[in-house]
A and B are shown apart, each in its own frame.
Chain A
Amino acid sequence: MSETFATPVLDIRNLSVALPPGSDRSLAVDNVSLAVHPREILCIVGESGSGKSVTLFAIMGLLASRLRAVQGEILFSGRDLLTLSVTEISELRGKELAMIFQEPMTALNPTMKVGRQIEETLRIHTTMGPKHRRARALELMRLVNIPSPEMLRERYPHQLSGGQRQRVMIAMALALEPVLLLADEPTTALDVTTQAQILDQIKEIQRRSGAAVLFVTHDIGVVAEIADRVIVMQSGKIVEQGAVENVLRSPQHPYTRSLLAAVPSARNRVPRRSKLDAPEVLRVEGLSKSYPSHGLWSGRSTPTRAIDKVDLVVRRGEIVSVVGESGSGKSTMARCVCGLLEYTEGRIAIEGLEPQTKMRPGHRPVQLIFQDPNRSLDPRWTVGKSMIEGMRNIGIARADAIERAADLLEKVGLQRSALDRYPHEFSGGQRQRICIARALSMQPRLLIADEAVSALDVSVQAQVLSLLTKLQDEMQLGILFITHDLHTAGQISDTVAVMYRGRIVEHGPALEVLSNPQHEYSRRLFQAAPGRRWLA
Chain B
Amino acid sequence: MSTVSQNHVSQAARSTGLRGLLQGNRSLLLGVGILAAFVAVALIAHLSGLNSQTIATSQRLRPPSLDHWFGTDRLGRDVFARVALGTSASLAVGAAVATVACAVGTILGLIAGYFRPLDKVIMRVMDGIIAIPAIMLAIATISVAGASITSVVLAVASHEVPRIARLVRSSVLSMREEPYVEAAKLLNSPSRAIIFGHMLPGVLGSLSVLGTYVAANAMLLEATLSFLGCGLPPDVPTWGNVMADGRILFRIAPWIILFPGLTLAIAVLAINLLGDGLRDRFDPASQRTMS
Using a CB–CB cutoff of 8 Å, the interface residues on chain A facing chain B are 19-20, 22-24, 28, 48-49, 54, 64, 66-67, 338-340, 361-363, 366-368, 370-372, 374-381, 386, 389-390, 393-394, 422, 424-425, 428, 435, 438, 442
CB distance from A363 to the nearest CB of B (A): 4
What are 14 sample pairs from A and B whose C-beta atoms fall under 8 A apart? A22-B12, A23-B5, A368-B186, A370-B179, A370-B183, A378-B180, A378-B197, A389-B187, A393-B193, A394-B188, A425-B7, A428-B3, A442-B186, A442-B187
Work out how many contacts link A and B, with CB atoms closer than 8 A. 89
With A23-B4, A376-B179, A380-B201 given, is the CB distance from A425 to B290 under 8 Å? no
For B1, the closest partner residue in chain A by CB is A49
Q: Is the CB of A363 within 8 A of B188?
A: yes
Q: In whole angstroms, how far apart are the Cα atoms of A394 and B189 in the complex?
A: 9
- The contact of A338 among B1, B178, B186, B201, by CB within 8 Å, is B186
Contacts of B189 in A (CB 8 A): 389-390, 393
Q: Is the CB of A23 within 8 A of B8?
A: yes
Confirm or deny: B48 has a beta carbon within 8 angstroms of a beta carbon on chain A.
no
With A49-B4, A368-B183 given, is the CB distance from A378 to B198 under 8 Å? yes
For B180, the closest partner residue in chain A by CB is A378
Q: Is the CB of A64 within 8 A of B10?
A: no
Confirm or deny: B150 has a beta carbon within 8 angstroms of a beta carbon on chain A.
no
- The contact of B184 among A66, A361, A375, A389, by CB within 8 Å, is A389
Contacts of B187 in A (CB 8 A): 389-390, 393, 438, 442
Q: Is the CB of B188 within 8 A of A375?
A: no
For B9, the closest partner residue in chain A by CB is A22
Contacts of A390 in B (CB 8 A): 186-189
Q: In whole angstroms, how far apart are the Cα atoms of A119 and B97 in the complex?
A: 54
Confirm or deny: B202 has a beta carbon within 8 angstroms of a beta carbon on chain A.
yes
Confirm or deny: B124 has a beta carbon within 8 angstroms of a beta carbon on chain A.
no
Confirm or deny: B182 has a beta carbon within 8 angstroms of a beta carbon on chain A.
yes
Contacts of A374 in B (CB 8 A): 3
Q: Is the CB of A340 within 8 A of B290?
A: no
CB distance from B250 to the nearest CB of A (A): 50
Contacts of A48 in B (CB 8 A): 1
Q: In whole angstroms, how far apart are the Cα atoms of A22 and B10 in the complex?
A: 12
CB distance from B284 to the nearest CB of A (A): 11
For A48, the closest partner residue in chain B by CB is B1
Confirm or deny: B11 has a beta carbon within 8 angstroms of a beta carbon on chain A.
yes
Q: Is the CB of A20 within 8 A of B7?
A: no
Q: Is the CB of B188 within 8 A of A393?
A: yes
Q: Is the CB of B202 within 8 A of A380?
A: yes
With A338-B186, A425-B11 given, is the CB distance from A377 to B4 under 8 Å? no
CB distance from A139 to the nearest CB of B (A): 34
Confirm or deny: B291 has a beta carbon within 8 angstroms of a beta carbon on chain A.
yes
Contacts of A379 in B (CB 8 A): 180
For A20, the closest partner residue in chain B by CB is B5
Confirm or deny: B185 has a beta carbon within 8 angstroms of a beta carbon on chain A.
yes
- The contact of B4 among A24, A339, A361, A389, by CB within 8 Å, is A24
With A389-B189, A390-B189 given, is the CB distance from A64 to B291 under 8 Å? yes
Q: In whole angstroms, how far apart are the Cα atoms of A147 and B182 in the complex?
A: 40
Q: In whole angstroms, how far apart are the Cα atoms of A379 and B180 in the complex?
A: 9
Contacts of B1 in A (CB 8 A): 28, 48-49, 54
